[in-house]
């Protein structure tokens, strides 16, 4: 009796196409939170599971705050060329004068 070892079995050839998904169970979720999330999932035309998975995916894709701060601190300083406060004051001055004139006319 001889056993062929070259040809992969059906199961082995299909295993590479499977995507492993994890499951998460949330305990002690308040009824109000559950109700709100369920209503939002309905509005989004999604199952509650898909809706919450989307929230968790978005959260997981964000950089943690401490890492974000570290990256910002490592950047080179930028010289804007002029004071932001001065630029705003100049801009506000032009429309503030017009607003005062308009208000005086309304009285």
**Which residues of the chain carry a pLDDT beneath 70?**
1-18
Residue 9 three-state SS: coil
Contact residues for 48 (Cβ-Cβ < 8 A; gap 6+): 37, 38, 41
Contact residues for 26 (Cβ-Cβ < 8 A; gap 6+): 52
Report the pLDDT value the prediction gives residue 38, as an integer from 0 to 100. Answer: 97
Report the pLDDT value the prediction gives residue 72, as an integer from 0 to 100. Answer: 92
- Report the C-alpha gap between 6 and 9 in whole angstroms: 9
Q: Where are the domains of the chain?
A: 27-75
Report the pLDDT value the prediction gives residue 77, as an integer from 0 to 100. Answer: 87
Distances (CA, A) of 84 to 76, 81, 91, 94, 98: 19, 9, 11, 16, 22
pTM: 0.52
């Amino acid at each position: 009796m001889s056993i062929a070892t070259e040809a992969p079995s059906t199961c082995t050839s299909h295993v590479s196409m499977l995507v492993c998904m994890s499951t998460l169970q949330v305990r002690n979720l308040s009824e109000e939170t559950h109700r709100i999330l369920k209503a939002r999932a309905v509005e989004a035309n999604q199952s509650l599971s898909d809706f919450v998975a989307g929230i968790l995916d978005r959260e997981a894709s964000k950089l943690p705050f401490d890492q974000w701060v570290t990256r910002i601190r490592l950047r080179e300083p930028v010289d804007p060329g002029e004071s932001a406060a001065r630029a705003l004051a100049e801009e506000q001055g032009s429309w503030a004068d017009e607003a005062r004139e308009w208000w005086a006319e309304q009285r």
